[in-house]
Amino acid sequence: MAPAQAYYQKPGFVVAAAVVLSLLDIAAVILRVWARKRQKQPFRWDDKLIIPAALFTIGIGIILVCGVSRHALAYPLEIPPDFAGNPLELSTKQMLNTSIAEFSYVLMLPLALGCAKLSILFFYFRIFAATTASRRYHFLVGLMVFVGLWTVAFFLSNLFQCRLQFWAFFGSTLDLVNNCPGTMYIDLSLCVTDFVTDLIILAIPVPLIWRITHLSVSNKVTALAVFFLGSVTIIASLLRLVIMIKIVIGGFDPELDEVLVITEYLYWGMVECGIGIFAACFPIFQVLFRKLPWPSVFTRPKSPLDCDTSNSNQTSESGKQSIVVEHSARVSHREVAGMNV
């Protein structure tokens, strides 16, 4: 009897997530570039880093689609009828393709996550950092250095998880156990640190925006809601962490379907990266909604903090940076820079 499959372990859902999220990220990056041009703002590191993040995420989507097309993902493990040995010693073409998909994924995942995190941090740096002497400046720089080192460290750890015995990753499960003893713990460490850094990054705007005395509570909540779209990625990150904890606790259990377990892990990684790219772009390109001819759901009565069109254009032409917050609030860079962490 074939094992029960959750929706995220079924071919249609896996392919749909890979294709839809990849297309969503492509559209988000294009809109981001367009928004920068319309605002006449410079194309800086936060914009540059989101491009490789999107490309690595699309690469993960391609891995999922190819894996499903080869029955290497989202299909139950196929055991030859004449095989009667230890399931951990089984080595088939399906398992080889699954290993190729998994190895490609674990190399791309830290790069996609790292570039996305750095893009968000550089965006914070663009709008929140004041002078080089401020605590906020040093905190953001320190966090960016940490994320950069985190990205490189996990990329190299995954690349050399079997040291130089790369063949072991593409052999049987027993080959992996004997030659790559730290595999599961590398993945678990990545999941834990990924989740923690996501929480920290999501929390950064809260005290900075909440301390703006000229904003009403409703406008502060609206501003934070724009940033909190990224909380969806934290849910996906948490689910992936829970999956990894279960795998570590269970070990290489021969009763589990290896292909479906790997599919589940890859699926939630794709969801996290895909939604993360969109969330990183949303605070920038949401300015375009004001240009749409139909009534916007973001429309609210004007407040004294709103700038008129002429002032907005003058600000863009003079190259001043600003946070564009819907619901009638635009927080200028100078206002935010004046706040203390």
DSSP state of 291: G
| Residue owning tokens 């996550």 | 113
Burial of 329 (0-12, 13-18, 19+ CB in 10 A): buried
Q: Token pair of 305, please?
A: 């903090």
Question: Alpha-carbon torsion 304, 306, 309, 312, what sign?
Answer: positive
- 55-98 pLDDT, tens digit per residue, is 999 999 999 999 999 999 999 999 888 888 777 788 899 999 99
Query: For the chain, how many structural domains are there in total?
Result: 1
- Are 280 and 119 in contact by the 8 Å Cβ rule? The answer is yes
For 324, the 3-state DSSP assignment is: strand
Q: Does residue 1 fall inside a structural domain?
A: no
Q: What is the model's pLDDT at position 293?
A: 39
Q: Please tell me the pTM assigned to this model.
A: 0.80
94 domain-assigned = yes
pLDDT in tens, the chain (341 residues): 556 788 999 999 999 999 999 999 999 999 999 888 888 888 889 999 999 999 999 999 999 999 999 999 999 999 888 888 777 788 899 999 999 999 999 999 999 999 999 999 998 888 776 566 678 888 999 999 999 999 999 999 999 999 899 999 998 888 888 888 888 899 999 999 999 999 999 888 888 778 776 767 777 777 777 777 677 788 888 888 988 888 887 766 667 788 999 999 999 999 999 999 998 888 776 666 654 433 333 333 333 323 333 343 444 444 433 333 333 334 444 444 444 43
| Helix residue spans in the chain (DSSP H) | 11-39, 45-69, 93-128, 135-159, 173-179, 183-203, 205-210, 217-227, 231-250, 258-285, 309-317, 333-337
Q: Is residue 57 part of a domain?
A: yes
Residue 2 belongs to a domain: no
In a domain, 178, yes or no: yes
304: helix, strand or coil: coil
Q: What pLDDT sits at residue 3?
A: 64
139 is in which domain, residue-wise? Answer: 7-337
List the CATH number of the domain containing 145.
1.20.1070
